[in-house]
Structure formats: structure tokens, C-alpha cells
Structure 1
Amino acid sequence: MNRADLAEMLNQQTTACEPAKAALLGGGDFVIWDGIVPGQQLASIYAARHRRARKRGTKTLALSATVDILTQHSTAPLRIGCIFTPDRTWAFMLFLTEDARVILACTGVRKTD
């Protein structure tokens, strides 16, 4: 997948899509990993990450909405991707359909020093 195709898929799935798209178009690194993960497993993992982020005060974007979307797609096999801001202060996790043609959700997490 190329940068332009990925940018085109980042719409308004969550509020993290716009800053993820800006990071991508601003030259940030990105990857879409091979393999699939069950939606139910991702929903559980990201629900736990959401709890930890709130407890630690880690800044996130659309993590709660992403957990909701992953829960709605719990029976689907999903593909994962990531976009980093050029300065690597933010990582945006992408959750795509198995064929990687549609982004279902996007969340951002600010890296801590």
C-alpha cells in the first residue's frame, strides 16, 4: 500500500484520523503489517490499554471510540497498521478490514519520554 492510498482511506472514522493523515502526508513513517488478528482479541487488548492510559495520564486520541468500533467488529479478522508523526511523538494505530481496503478505526497515543 502506498502513502496516497492510505491517506485516501483516512476519513472520519474517529477524531484521530485527521491528525494521522496529517502525519502521513507530512512524511511520517507508516506500516501495514501482514497477518490478521481477531477483532475480539484487539478489542480486549485496546480496552486494557485504554484503562492503563487513563490511569497513567497518557495522552490519547479516540482510544475509547476505537475500542467501541473494535468491539462492534469482534467477529471479524482485522489487519493492523501504524503511522508515526515525523518527530515520532505520536503513533496512530490503524485497524483495517482483512483485505486492507477499509480503515475501520484509528487511535493515537502520545509517546512518553
Structure 2
Amino acid sequence: MRRERLEQLLRGDDETSAAALAALRSGASYVVWDGTTPAQSLAGVYGRRLRHTLQKGIETSGLEQAVQHLNRYGGPVRLSQIRATDGAWIFMLFLDQDGSTLVACTGVRQTQPGPPPSDAC
């Protein structure tokens, strides 16, 4: 999928899509994988991730809404990922089967590595 097409799909009015679009326009890397997965299966997986991130205090964007959208969506979805150029955020996009519609979008802040231990070589 071309970058311009992915940008078009992200032109929604929610905060997470806007952040993913900004990352993409800033040169973020992205991938759209072949194949599909049942949306309800992914809703279960991302529901567990939601609980995990809440327990660990990991910052997310739109994760709860993505789980809700996946639960309501009846068809299979294609997965796509956008990785911000600074590595601070990774966005997961859930597209319809032919990649023409954005079903849901979520982002998770990545933990930044701290300084090396003082006894490191």
C-alpha cells in the first residue's frame, strides 16, 4: 500500500488517527501485512493488552476504542503498523479486508532505554 493511501485512511477526526497520520507524514516507517484475521479474535488479544497496559501504567492512545470497534466489526481485518521516526510510539491500524477502510487505530508509547549501568563496558 502506498504511503499516500494510508494517509487518506487516517484522515479521521479522532486523536489517535491524527497522531498516526502526523507520524506517517514525518517519515515514520510502516508496513501493511498480507492476509486477514477475524476482528473478534483481535478484539480479544487487544482487550488483554488493554488490561496489561492499564496494570503497568503504559501510555496508550485509542486502545479501548479500538477494542470496541473490533468487537462490533463483523468481518476480517488486515493489520498495519506505523513506527514513529523517534521510536516513541507504535500505531496499529486495523483495515477492512481489501484495505480500503480504517476499522480501528491504536497507539502505544514505547519505553525508552535508560542509561547503561555504571559498570557497563
Question: Deviation digits for residues 83-102 of structure 1, max 9, x if unmatched?
Answer: 11111110000000000111
SS of the residue 2:99 aligns to: coil
Question: Deviation digits for residues 67-110 of structure 1, max 9, x if unmatched?
Answer: 0000001x311100001111111000000000011111110000
User: Structure 1: any 5+ residue segments left out of the alignment?
Assistant: none
Partner of residue 108, structure 1 = 107
Structure ranking higher on relative contact order (CA contacts 8 Å, 6+ apart): 1
For residues 59 and 43 of structure 1, what CA distance do their matches in structure 2 show? Answer: 19
1:7 maps to 2:11: no
Partner of residue 95, structure 1 = 94
SS of the residue 2:11 aligns to: coil
Identical pairs, percent: 38
Partner of residue 76, structure 1 = 75
SS of the residue 1:93 aligns to: strand
In the TM superposition, residue 14 of structure 1 has moved relative to its aligned partner by: 3.8
User: Stretches of 4+ moved more than 3 A in 1?
Assistant: none
For residues 24 and 40 of structure 1, what CA distance do their matches in structure 2 show? Answer: 27
In the TM superposition, residue 17 of structure 1 has moved relative to its aligned partner by: 0.2
Contact preservation (8 Å) 1:14, 1:106 = no
One-letter code aligned to 1:42: L
RMSD of the alignment, in Å?
A: 1.0
- Size of the aligned set, in residue pairs, is 112
Rg larger in 1 or in 2? 2
User: Structure 2: any 5+ residue segments left out of the alignment?
Assistant: 113-121
Please report the TM-score for the alignment, with normalisation by the length of structure 2.
0.89
In the TM superposition, residue 9 of structure 1 has moved relative to its aligned partner by: 0.8
One-letter code aligned to 2:66: T
